[in-house]
Chains A and B, each alone.
Chain A
């Protein structure tokens, strides 16, 4: 479904990604592990078009995404929940959701709103509230719900557990599994490697902008290097 190959991305003079290659197949949950600054968020931003690679290719459903602006990438079926959620603080919860469905012209937006509220009942109670006043957990729910409103085939999630209490993290991850169960492919960036590996099918480990390891979630969880560096053993 998605294939990155030989991706080189720079922030000014900083070489952030070095020849990154990875693949996400339809229906999978794939996780990207790595420390701060390893290039995980950079990889997602390159896929969604926020960053342009200097070399290499991003191919989605057989078509190149390089050089395509972000709003057109959304139209092709990729939604990105960025790092730090980036919900619209001054817009209401409902307006945030409407923006998620910005490109939709089929008449099923209202039905999808109801589906999103089944996943996140808390949001329904806060429908007319200004999003900036939501709690951290609610904001994360809103960010995911908003992305789902685009009916993406591929969902990019950047650190959905960041800053959340453990019980909320469990809840968010259960929701990710159920979103995947409904047919959405997921590429998950996560600091919490144990959680990520517990729900992912496969994973890649990034270090200083390069893929250093890859395998099924089980293989990675058994790997001594991963256990030492990311699972705290």
Chain B
């Protein structure tokens, strides 16, 4: 076993893991916020996420075909594209709640869940149909923003691309912003109040339906931003790309303690790190017996172990009720 190699690649793997982890964290917020308020898994969130990525790629391709992509200042382009992705995904999430979940609010638990799964398939095929009609293709490649491909060599073994830095900074800013919104503002307090007790919240004068819409808006917008960042970072998207990251982000939310916002952030980062380390180290440590393709098995085995010992997740709280 090449011990020196293990040490040498460590910083790079750590960075890759964090990058993936922040991506999961951003997506996981959509699951966990909705679960916190409605105790319901929005299975269509993976498509809400990928719709953000598609809005982003369409805008970038549009700019490119007009020849302005390389002349416009890239931070402005990226910011604009991200805002558009957030807006589209946020609006989509709110619409889905109105048409597919709200009418089923009084129905047994399983019914809205099935509605969500149906919505997920429906959206995949709507994206596929739209893109097929529009571009005659539904596997799309993000146009490169040239300055983002620049790489900075931090040490001889660690280099960071500009886009990775952008993704990390953007994700951190959004996570911080959401945390501040939920914990430091009146509307954020109202979201937490509705999450805890809808009837009591309505007795405070809180319009519960509006808060639920707001929750979908915020969760969807975070998903849309993650979609754009995903496209910028990994390049290739298709209508089904959202499914696996969505499932993993959902797992991250459960790992952190579903319904718990800091938990979703932590869960995402832990899962990203586990995956990155498994992908790089397993084949080295097992002499090639288990390759990078076993990363999910390793990552999920660890998850199962954690959940056996902490069934409510890493930060899942046990609130003691008093009479």
Residues of chain A touching chain B, judged by Cβ–Cβ distance below 8 Å, are 48-50, 69-71, 74-75, 79-80, 82, 86-91, 95, 98-100, 102-103, 132-136, 139, 146-147, 150, 163
Q: Which residue of A87, A90, A150 contacts B192 across the interface (Cβ within 8 Å)?
A: A90
Taking CB atoms, residues of chain A closer than 8 Å to B196 are: 88-91
Within the assembled complex, what's the spacing in Å between the Cα atoms of A164 and B207?
A: 32
Task: Tell me if A50 and B322 are in contact (CB < 8 A).
Answer: no
Which of B203, B320, B321 has its CB near the most chain A CB atoms (within 10 A)? Answer: B203
Chain A: which residue is nearest B200 at the CB level? Answer: A86
Decide yes or no: A99 and B190 within 8 Å by CB, A132-B319, A134-B322 being known contacts.
yes
| Smallest CB separation, B271 vs chain A (Å) | 25
Task: Tell me if A90 and B203 are in contact (CB < 8 A).
Answer: no
Taking CB atoms, residues of chain A closer than 8 Å to B322 are: 132-136, 139
Q: Which residue of A99, A133, A147 contacts B189 across the interface (Cβ within 8 Å)?
A: A99
Q: Which residue of B200, B201, B323 contacts A163 across the interface (Cβ within 8 Å)?
A: B323
Q: Can you list 13 A-B pairs, Cβ within 8 angstroms, ordered by A?
A: A71-B205, A82-B199, A86-B199, A86-B200, A86-B203, A88-B197, A95-B189, A99-B189, A102-B190, A102-B204, A132-B319, A132-B321, A150-B204
Taking CB atoms, residues of chain B closer than 8 Å to A69 are: 202, 207
Let me know if B208 is at the binding interface, CB within 8 A. Answer: yes
Which of A79, A90, A139 has its CB near the most chain B CB atoms (within 10 A)? Answer: A90
Taking CB atoms, residues of chain A closer than 8 Å to B87 are: none
Q: Which residue of B197, B201, B203, B208 contacts A80 across the interface (Cβ within 8 Å)?
A: B203
Let me know if B66 is at the binding interface, CB within 8 A. Answer: no
Within the assembled complex, what's the spacing in Å between the Cα atoms of A79 and B320?
A: 27
Task: Tell me if B205 and A103 are in contact (CB < 8 A).
Answer: yes
Taking CB atoms, residues of chain B closer than 8 Å to A87 are: 200
Within the assembled complex, what's the spacing in Å between the Cα atoms of A49 and B202?
A: 9
Task: Tell me if A88 and B190 are in contact (CB < 8 A).
Answer: no
Task: Tell me if B202 and A71 are in contact (CB < 8 A).
Answer: yes
Decide yes or no: A74 and B193 within 8 Å by CB, A89-B319, A89-B321, A90-B319 being known contacts.
no
Within the assembled complex, what's the spacing in Å between the Cα atoms of A136 and B202?
A: 23
Within the assembled complex, what's the spacing in Å between the Cα atoms of A74 and B200?
A: 12
